[in-house]
Amino acid sequence: MKKVSIFPYIFGGVSSLAFVALSFYLLCPALNIHNPGLWIIIDIALFMFVILVRLSKGAKDFGYVTVKKKTGSKGRTKKYTEFRFGIKYYLLPIITTLLTVFLAVTGSTLFNASKYSEILKVNTSDFSKDVIESVGTDSIALMDTASARMLGDREIGALSDVVSQFNVSYDYTQIDYNGKPIKVSALEYAGFFKWLNNRHSGIKGYVTVNPVSMSASFIESEGMKYVPSAFFSEDAFRHIRKAYPTLMLDNLHFETDENGNPYYIASVIEKTIGLFGGKTVSGCIVLDPVSGKTEKYEASEIPKWIDVVFYGDLICEQYNWHGMFQNGFMNSLFAKKDCKQVTTYYSSDEDSDDETPVSDYGYVAKDGDIWIYTGVTSVNGDSSNIGFLMANERTGESRYYQIAGADEKSAMASAEGEVQEKGYQASFPSLINIDGHPTYIMVLKDSGGLVKLYATVNVEQYNIVTTAATQEECIRKYKSALGIEAEGFTEDVTETEIIVTSVKYIDIDGNTYIYLIDGKENLFRAKAGTNEKMLLIDEGDRVKITHSGKNIISCEKVK
């Protein structure tokens, strides 16, 4: 009997197990059959085992090989070249890989379009009732993450004992802190050796950024040891995974409670369609980074101070399923009847020329919670919204408002066009209610990222644009442009008759503006399409203009 060596099997088994152990330690996958990452690790490990065993035996399973065969009655030996395809040795890993692919496909939108469209429950609601009129500015969250990073870095840069050991994390979280919106970000270790030097005392603080005052503060806290920038067993995600090995987790981020105590929050994910499809949130894990204590909450039990569980990117993805697949998968590809999606822009990949569609959204502080808001548009790619989506990031409650008007990018372009000579850039706007008028409000920044002006743009009549140095002044000017009495502000909407000496059409960031110039070289303007009567105006016409500043609200010829 031919002796069989067990070395190839020992070598292949040990190597494959080592790969699995390393993958589990580095990637921390959930031990859950609904986790596709777990299946992929198993598939790779099985392939590794078979390949290493065959290589250890010196076998050549794929390709051309030279073999000797006896031929003829005299049994002479001749050499032949043949192609060998030893698929039989790889049947098990091939079967498990094909099963993984099959399970992924059967749980996809291709076969479950209606189920995907029903994951997010969206209620149609009344904007003027739901969104309380913005009489003050404390609830308006305007600051984008880029500006928050700049202010946070500047604040830490002034603390020499902190900046030498720690960085401010790029992952800022928008939270509601005692009824006011702020952005928060924890410090992180500035590398492995900084962690070694400071791990016993931990990270002793975090940064808050006030979007109203545009100021940052460093808040001291007890030493946080279990953080994402730590290593080995003190890594925050690995620490949570050790306590909850079977839960699928996502969106690990930093928050504080109403007393300023720091916590890390991770959303608990469930797959509800097939084995891998239908991603949704079922609760959260709260980690105290000081003590390492963890606690699990079901979705219905999440404490009021936690703000982000049903996170914005997932809500936007779920709404796109809702908007695209209500009439079936094939309709989403061809007819596209009633298909809609959230506001999307295209982000260029630094490593290629490809552009990736990315959802964008703003924040609204409401009733002690943070709600994301985003415009909803048809999939035809025009520059207007057919409505808005607002969703509570703590509870997942989602509301749709049927309001037609400019999309966020067009509103940003309008605000930038108002001060085009300065070259300011607009941040993604917030959505507020001014006397029943849905209104975009945003900041305008210079090339260095510093906030220079505030701007308001009417959603339904986006030729109504105002800018000012403060939020309060900007809102007062905007109310005046709408003909609403604004206490403490004297600039009103006025009517003026002019003789037009010149009509100019100017393109600003893809939007066409009509400029009317009178004999005194006064300029009045409106966005093309917002007032069709302006298209009939020629040089020499006498016209009556209702305007706020240089922005035309209405215009008609005087006969």
Can you give the pLDDT at residue 145? 81
- 242 touches 28 (CB < 8 A): no
Q: 156 and 257 in one domain?
A: yes
Tokens of 30: 């959930």
Q: Which amino acid is at 358?
A: V
For 296-336, the pLDDT digits (tens) are 999 999 999 999 999 999 999 999 999 999 999 999 999 99
**The overall pTM is greater than 0.85:** no
Share of the chain above pLDDT 90, in %: 53
Can you give the pLDDT at residue 350? 47
For 61-107, the pLDDT digits (tens) are 766 667 677 666 666 777 767 666 678 889 999 999 999 999 999 99
- Does residue 351 form part of some domain? no
Q: What's the mean pLDDT in 13-20? A: 96
Q: What is the largest CA-CA distance in the chain?
A: 117
522-541 exposure pattern, b = at least 16 Cβ within 10 A, e = fewer: eebbbbbebbeebeebeeee
Mean pLDDT of the chain: 87
What residues make up the domain containing 394? 122-128+315-340+356-401
Q: 50 and 159 in one domain?
A: no
**pLDDT confidence tier of residue 352, bands split at 50, 70 and 90:** very low
124 burial type by CB count under 10 A (0-12 exposed, 13-18 middle, 19+ buried): exposed
Q: 392 and 411 in one domain?
A: no
- Does residue 555 form part of some domain? yes
- Does residue 2 form part of some domain? no
Total domain count, the chain: 5
- 331 touches 337 (CB < 8 A): yes
Q: 166 and 303 in one domain?
A: yes
Q: 535 and 512 in one domain?
A: yes
Q: What's the mean pLDDT in 368-389? A: 87
Q: 295 and 255 in one domain?
A: yes
Q: 213 and 146 in one domain?
A: yes
- 515 touches 525 (CB < 8 A): yes
Q: 432 and 397 in one domain?
A: no
Nearest-angstrom CA–CA distance, 559 and 556: 9
- Does residue 184 form part of some domain? yes
3-state secondary structure of 400: strand
427-441 exposure pattern, b = at least 16 Cβ within 10 A, e = fewer: bbbbbbbbeebbbbb
Can you give the pLDDT at residue 351? 47
Q: 368 and 270 in one domain?
A: no
- 362 touches 88 (CB < 8 A): no
Q: 222 and 363 in one domain?
A: no
Can you give the pLDDT at residue 135? 43
Q: 189 and 92 in one domain?
A: no
Supply the DSSP symbol for 271. E
- Does residue 509 form part of some domain? yes
Q: Which amino acid is at 71?
A: T
* CATH classification at residue 511: 2.40.50.140
Can you give the pLDDT at residue 485? 59
3-state secondary structure of 42: helix
56-94 exposure pattern, b = at least 16 Cβ within 10 A, e = fewer: beeeebeeeeeeeeeeeeeeeeeeeeeeeeeeeebeebe
3-state secondary structure of 320: helix
Please provide the DSSP assignment of 183-251 as one string: EEEEEEESSHHHHHHHTTT-EEEEEEEETTTTEEEEEEEEEE-SBTTS-GGGBHHHHHHHH-TT-EEEE
Q: 422 and 373 in one domain?
A: no
| Overall residue count recorded for the chain in this entry | 559
**Is residue 187 scored above 70 in pLDDT?**
yes
From 61-75, 205-219, 424-438, the region with the lowest mean pLDDT? 61-75
